[in-house]
């Protein structure tokens, strides 16, 4: 029996805390979305599809690109037109249209002001599905949107996370998020697709090498693969405000909480516990750009960027933590592992 797989696109390019209403608003994938799509494609690598179909909107087409470079665009797979709500944050929508917002919280099939009706979406979604079934005989993957997939399921209440998989005719396969362990190899691939910039990627890979070197010298039972994966992704959100916290939240969204915990510590660490996060913190402080340097040189270079008393205090605190970790590690190893 052929399989019709429906995949919701990965996360579009908006901040984690934002809650926009996206219909025809055509956002591309963000860095987290590209990582989600990449990870999902790897998880589904054992599935073979005769063809991959996609909505024309960027967030869906870019997700489909991780599965096939020749995905077929079907206009009827586009997301519902949200009318006056399209592109607005849900907090604003709730403020401006409180009654309709509350009603749709109970029944998503109710129309939005000047928006497309649920029936219109159902008709075109089923038309698109019929076209796809006519053109193919084997398993297919359809990358679309939450409302379109819900229309094909005739169920507007199902939860469909970003990059989740639904298989038509299989009640237990609705809104599944494919999972796979975070290995150093996968982390390196996620770093590449997140595309934080060539300089950042080179820095992350240099920190990974230094972190692995330090960990392998230590007489401790550290999870070196976890450390390597976290090191590769520690600066994946370098362009974002509070990048350590943001990168950790991205990893949490991907389901990699242990790596998220280590990454969250790479910018600030109290030096009290010698764990994977501590080694990552120290390795990051030993690497300038993509070169390993003595701690004193690294901190001397960064001190010049501290323009306020608060920044200088934070810099001194981080230097003290790094030096304490260095002394602890060198003492455990009985030699100068870190200079």
CB-based contacts of 27: which residues, under 8 Å, 6+ apart?
Answer: 12, 13, 14, 58, 59
- The answer, yes or no, to whether residue 300 has pLDDT greater than 90, is no
d(C-alpha 158, C-alpha 175), whole Å? 8
What SS3 state is found at 7?
strand
d(C-alpha 38, C-alpha 68), whole Å? 12
pLDDT digits (tens, 9 = 90+) for 112-171: 999 999 999 999 999 999 999 999 999 999 999 999 999 999 999 999 999 999 999 999
pLDDT digits (tens, 9 = 90+) for 178-211: 999 999 999 999 999 999 999 999 999 999 999 9
Instruction: Report CA dihedral (33, 143, 147, 169) to the nearest 10 degrees.
Output: -130
What SS3 state is found at 271?
coil
**106 and 211 part of one domain:** no
pLDDT digits (tens, 9 = 90+) for 281-293: 999 999 999 999 9
**139 and 34 part of one domain:** yes
Confidence at residue 316, expressed as pLDDT on a 0 to 100 scale: 85
For residue 117, the domain's CATH number is: 3.40.50.1240
**76 and 194 part of one domain:** no
**20 and 163 part of one domain:** yes
Confidence at residue 288, expressed as pLDDT on a 0 to 100 scale: 94
Strands 287-288 and 140-144: unpaired
Containing structural domain, residue 268? 184-333
**12 and 142 part of one domain:** yes
Q: Contacts from 155-160 at CB under 8 Å and sequence distance 24+?
A: 156/107, 156/108, 156/109, 156/118, 157/108, 160/8
Confidence at residue 223, expressed as pLDDT on a 0 to 100 scale: 97
Instruction: Report which of 129, 140, 119, 142 is spatially closest to residue 54, judged by C-alpha positions.
Output: 142
Is-contact 63 163, C-beta < 8 A?
Answer: yes
Instruction: Report which of 318, 222, 328 is spatially closest to residue 270, judged by C-alpha positions.
Output: 318
Please indicate, yes or no, if residue 178 is contained in any of the structural domains: no
Please indicate, yes or no, if residue 152 is contained in any of the structural domains: yes
The one-character DSSP state at 51 is E
For residue 195, the domain's CATH number is: 1.10.3210
pLDDT digits (tens, 9 = 90+) for 307-328: 898 888 888 899 899 999 999 9
**123 and 217 part of one domain:** no
**103 and 191 part of one domain:** no
User: How much of the chain, in percent, has pLDDT values that exceed 70?
Assistant: 100
| Residue labelled with tokens 């660490």 | 269
**14 and 133 part of one domain:** yes
Backbone φ and ψ for 102, nearest 5 degrees, come out as -65, -40
**188 and 162 part of one domain:** no
């Amino acid at each position: 029996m052929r399989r019709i797989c429906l995949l919701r696109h990965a996360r579009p390019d908006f901040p984690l805390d934002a809650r926009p209403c996206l219909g025809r608003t055509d956002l591309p994938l963000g860095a987290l979305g590209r990582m989600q799509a990449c990870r999902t494609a790897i998880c589904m690598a054992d599935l073979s599809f005769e063809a991959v179909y996609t909505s024309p909107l960027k967030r869906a087409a870019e997700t489909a690109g991780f599965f096939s470079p020749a995905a077929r665009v079907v206009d009827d797979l586009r997301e519902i037109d949200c009318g006056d709500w399209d592109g607005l944050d849900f907090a604003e929508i709730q403020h401006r249209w409180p009654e309709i917002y509350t009603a749709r919280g109970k029944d998503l099939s109710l129309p939005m002001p000047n928006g497309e009706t649920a029936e219109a979406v159902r008709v075109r979604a089923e038309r698109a599905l019929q076209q796809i079934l006519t053109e193919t005989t084997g398993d297919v993957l359809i990358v679309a949107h939450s409302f379109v997939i819900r229309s094909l399921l005739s169920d507007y209440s199902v939860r469909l996370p970003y990059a989740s998989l639904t298989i038509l005719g299989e009640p237990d396969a609705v809104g599944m998020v494919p999972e796979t362990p975070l290995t150093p190899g996968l982390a390196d691939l996620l770093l590449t697709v997140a595309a934080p910039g060539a300089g950042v990627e080179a820095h992350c890979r240099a920190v990974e090498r230094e972190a692995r070197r330090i960990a392998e010298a230590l007489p401790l039972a550290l999870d070196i693969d976890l450390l390597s994966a976290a090191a590769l992704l520690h600066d994946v959100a370098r362009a974002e405000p509070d990048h350590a916290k943001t990168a950790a939240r991205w990893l949490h969204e991907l389901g990699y909480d242990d790596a998220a915990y280590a990454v969250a510590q790479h910018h600030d660490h109290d030096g009290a516990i010698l764990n994977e996060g501590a080694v990552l913190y120290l390795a990051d402080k030993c690497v300038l750009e993509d070169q390993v340097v003595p701690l004193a040189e690294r901190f001397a270079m960064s001190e010049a960027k501290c323009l306020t008393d608060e920044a200088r205090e934070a810099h001194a605190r981080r230097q003290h933590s790094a030096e304490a970790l260095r002394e602890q590690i060198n003492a455990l190893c009985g030699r100068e592992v870190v200079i």
